[in-house]
Amino acid sequence: MSSREEVTAKILSRKVELGLTWKGIAADLGSSSPIIYTAALLGQMTLTAEEAGKAAAIFGLTKEEANWLVISPERGATAIMPPTDPLIYRFYELIQNYGTTWKALIEEEFGDGIMSAIDFSMSIEREPDPKGDRVKIGMSGKFLPFKRF
């Protein structure tokens, strides 16, 4: 009997053992974003049955382990708040410093509502800079207005 956490640990171990990259793995799994595939393999999203079969072949997963990859996960279940990893903490710091600003500007433009994290796309790019390369993150989420009832 395995768990989602055990499958994630096995995937990470095999990734290191085989010298794989997330982008390379994503290319072998299908046509979706490397962000989605990485999130799924880290236990935060799901794969299709076909993608899970490909992941099983790459990582040497059993049928049961592959089945965990198609089951809806407990997203954020292992998150520590505030985060202790320095890179993840910087995102938390962005929310602390700019969250109310983003909220005010979004509401001014769209009205009272939220930006969906379900109907959502994201990109991560390297942006060359003479003072040191930069991380460029783009996010696009559908606006969902609050409804009166």
Domains of the chain: 4-68 (1.10.260.40), 86-145 (3.30.1160.10)
How much is the pTM?
0.86
Q: Indicate if 116 belongs to the active site.
A: yes
Q: Which among 6, 17, 64, 93 is annotated as catalytic?
A: 93
Going by pLDDT thresholds of 50, 70 and 90, the confidence category of residue 81 is: confident
Q: Which among 3, 13, 116, 121 is annotated as catalytic?
A: 116
Going by pLDDT thresholds of 50, 70 and 90, the confidence category of residue 80 is: confident
Dist. CA 40–CA 26, nearest whole Å? 11
Per-residue pLDDT, 62:
97
Dist. CA 10–CA 77, nearest whole Å? 18
Q: Indicate if 127 belongs to the active site.
A: no
Q: Which among 74, 90, 123, 140 is annotated as catalytic?
A: 90
Q: 101 pLDDT exceeds 80?
A: yes
| Residue range 111-133: mean pLDDT, rounded | 96
The H or E element that residue 21 is part of is none
Going by pLDDT thresholds of 50, 70 and 90, the confidence category of residue 131 is: very high
Q: Indicate if 90 belongs to the active site.
A: yes
| Residue range 104-125: mean pLDDT, rounded | 95
Give Cα separations from 62 to 51, 56, 57, 132 (angstroms): 14, 7, 9, 43
Task: Output the furthest CA–CA distance in the chain (Å, rounded).
Answer: 55
How far apart, in Å, do the first and last CA atoms of the chain sit?
45
Q: 79 pLDDT exceeds 90?
A: no
Q: 76 pLDDT exceeds 90?
A: no
